[in-house]
Chain A
Amino acid sequence: MNNAPRESRLGAWIAMGLGTLYFLLPLIATFEFSLRMKRGEYSFEAYKVVFGDPLFQATFGYSIVMALATIAVGVLLVVPTAYWVHLRMPKLRPLVEFITLLPLVIPAIVIVFGYLRMYNSSSILPLTGSEHATDFLLVCSYVTLSLPYMYRSVDTGLRTIDVRTLTEAAEVLGARRATILLRVIFPNITSAILSGAFLTFAVVIGEFTMASLLDRPAFGPYLQLIGANRAYEPSALAVIAFLVTWASMGLINVFGRNSRRQPNR
């Protein structure tokens, strides 16, 4: 009996230690490898090469724009829907929830395969016909991919506020639907929207399958191209990608914490 806690603590430390080792080793190795570009010394040469590559700047910029567009479309699509379901159509909730979870069931490669067949240049809606239309399709595919996270975040946010009372109060004061959404609901669930947005950003920024098959010059396909042709740059890119993911997740935590502190101010 006396030994039990001690024993389990030792086992826990071993498990934690091995886990830490498994998760830190690839990061250390990647970082170390990315510094080895100059023979015989450590340098940030690989990073210099990467950041100086116009293709890097172009694809990274393109993916940021796509991510922002995805977030904008996703928020405009999800927030009013989730709000309306909360307020007026609670019976639809299971159905809407089910649909938002579908992107987890249907692999991304299947969805994009469907797009290519359905929206090819000879169809009624030739969305793969021109560059701008394909960009639009890419944004829609990303909105689909991020639907589970975005909806879940917003839904959780709406659960924490009294949607009905807020709406009625605003209606009594003469506000119209759009005003209610924009000036009452949005500000009240900002932190939920932001955590959905950052998650979306983390998912979209390096996405490969959709962008590659829709043939758009995004960051994901660029990563793959560099990986197939260079030695040290891929490691530098992996470190950068890891930092971007880390930053997105960190910002979620920061905003989550802020929203908790607000009422005390």
Chain B
Amino acid sequence: MAVCHARFYFSDRQSRSLFDTRELQVSAPSPSASLPAGAGPQPRPLPLNWLGVLPFFLFALLFMLLPTAYLMVGAFQDAEGHFTLANLAGLLEPNVLNAYWISFRISVASALTGGLLGFLLAWAAVLGKLPAWIRPTLMTFSGVASNFAGVPLAFAFLATLGRMGLVTVLLRTYLDINIYSTGFSILSFTGLTLTYLYFQIPLMVLIVTPALEGLKKEWREACDCLGGSTLQYWRYIAMPVLWPSILGAMLLLFANAFGAVATAYALTGSSLNIVPILLYAQIRGDVLHNPNLGYAMALGMIVITGLANAGYMVLRSKTDRRGA
């Protein structure tokens, strides 16, 4: 899940090649140039047009929509297939509710921290007047790091902050600080949040950099000319432009953390009671003793990640309109 947002980076790269490619095409003879534009679709009967996109919709239906719908319907059924709300009520069981609560807190913590730190990094790269090579390097690295999730990431953090990890050992040997005696554990809430940051921060960098690049130099100059301070510039000019992007990006980070399974599972096994892990255990061995409660948990996950994504889309349409 962490990967997707790298598109912001790629699309930028590809759009730059727009002119080169188009020039190539133009040189090809285009006998149809005299045809009125839009005359293409008319002669063919409509049903044939649909055939072209049929495989795609069939695929989406079979391997995404129907399986999901199956679970959503199942969430409202009992074992015999009768309508019931008992499964949804089951979500309020302390065990399940607790899992949602921990998941929610980890996702919020990693989205807020990742969002803030990612923003700071992007700011430093775009507006910090650093050497020119830093920005592309940061972007490339962010593309890699946002994809470096799952099981290997858990290994990396165990080797860093685990009991025998490099940082743990160095701190103990040279600074006489035993982080594990302070109650820290890589298998805990803090540990997992810290690990998630490794793909959350780069993701934030990838999403928010284009927004920061959209800030016009003239705005800052205009502000300076009018005697505005740095604080006033950010308070009255930059932030009002940026906040939908920042908030939207954080919502994406939230959804991203909420659905992640592999990192948490490899890191903590099943010792940390978060929703994806509980659902994983439920699928493997019916730990909730009610398969339909599993459906309700899946429904709950979709609702939460769905809301976060919907929020992101609303906020993005806001920035798009302003950009236009």
Contact = CB atoms under 8 A, between A and B. Distances in A.
Given A107-B1, A220-B151, A260 B17 contact: yes
Contact of B1 (A8, A96, A104): A104
A81 B32 contact: no
A8 B129 contact: yes
Contact of A15 (B29, B128, B147, B155): B128
A143 B59 contact: yes
A107 B258 contact: yes
Interface stretch (A37-45, A51-59, A63-71, A201-209): A201-209
Interface stretch (B82-90, B157-165, B174-182, B207-215): B157-165
Interface residues of B, number: 107
B31 A169 contact: yes
Interface string B16-33: 111011111110111111
Interface residues of A, number: 109
Given A29-B156, A160-B21, A262-B20, A209 B261 contact: yes
A28 B156 CA distance: 9
B32 A172 contact: yes
A117 B56 contact: no
A174 interface: no
Interface in B99-131: 117, 120-121, 123-125, 127-130
Interface in A54-89: 77-78, 80-81, 84-85, 87-89
Nearest to A248: B147
Nearest to B4: A148
Interface string B140-161: 1101110110111111111110
Given A105-B302, A192-B14, A213-B283, A199 B141 contact: no
B235 interface: no
Nearest to B125: A16
A245 B147 contact: yes
A50 B291 CA distance: 38
Contact of A263 (B13, B20, B224): B20
Secondary structure class of chain B's binding surface, majority of residues? helix
Contacts of B33: 165
Contacts of A149: 3-4, 6-7
A208 B265 contact: yes
B16 to A, nearest CB: 7
B294 interface: yes
Contact of A85 (B32, B53, B155, B255): B53
A168 B152 contact: no
A105 B306 CA distance: 5
Contact of B55 (A80, A103, A260): A80
A235 B155 contact: yes
Interface string A188-216: 10011001000100110011110001000
Contacts of B157: 26
Contact of B127 (A8, A23, A223, A263): A8
Contacts of B262: 207-209, 220, 224
B262 to A, nearest CB: 4
Interface string B268-301: 0100000010011001100000000010001001
A154 to B, nearest CB: 10
Secondary structure class of chain A's binding surface, majority of residues? helix
Nearest to B300: A110
Given A88-B52, A152-B10, A165-B32, A113 B279 contact: yes
B22 A162 contact: yes
Given A23-B141, A113-B279, A209-B261, A118 B67 contact: yes
Contacts of A263: 20-21, 23-24
Contact of A206 (B68, B150, B284): B150
Contacts of A140: 59, 62-63
B67 A99 contact: no
Given A149-B7, A209-B262, A114 B71 contact: yes
A12 B28 CA distance: 49
Given A195-B10, A237-B155, A263-B20, A114 B25 contact: no
B40 A33 contact: no
Interface of B: 1, 3-4, 6-7, 10-11, 13-18, 20-26, 28-33, 35, 40-41, 49, 52-53, 55-57, 59-60, 62-68, 70-71, 74, 117, 120-121, 123-125, 127-130, 134, 138, 140-141, 143-145, 147-148, 150-160, 164-167, 197-198, 201-202, 224, 230, 255, 258-259, 261-262, 265-266, 269, 276, 279-280, 283-284, 294, 298, 301-302, 305-306, 309
23 contacts: A12-B130, A25-B160, A26-B160, A29-B166, A29-B167, A30-B159, A84-B49, A87-B40, A105-B302, A107-B261, A113-B294, A114-B66, A118-B66, A153-B14, A160-B22, A168-B31, A172-B31, A191-B17, A241-B152, A249-B147, A256-B13, A262-B20, A263-B24
Interface of A: 1, 4-5, 8-9, 11-13, 15-16, 19, 22-23, 25-30, 32-34, 77-78, 80-81, 84-85, 87-89, 92, 96, 99, 101-119, 140-141, 143-144, 148-149, 152-153, 156-157, 159-162, 164-166, 168-169, 171-172, 188, 191-192, 195, 199, 202-203, 206-209, 213, 220, 223-224, 227-228, 234-235, 237-238, 241-242, 245-246, 248-249, 252-253, 256, 259-260, 262-264
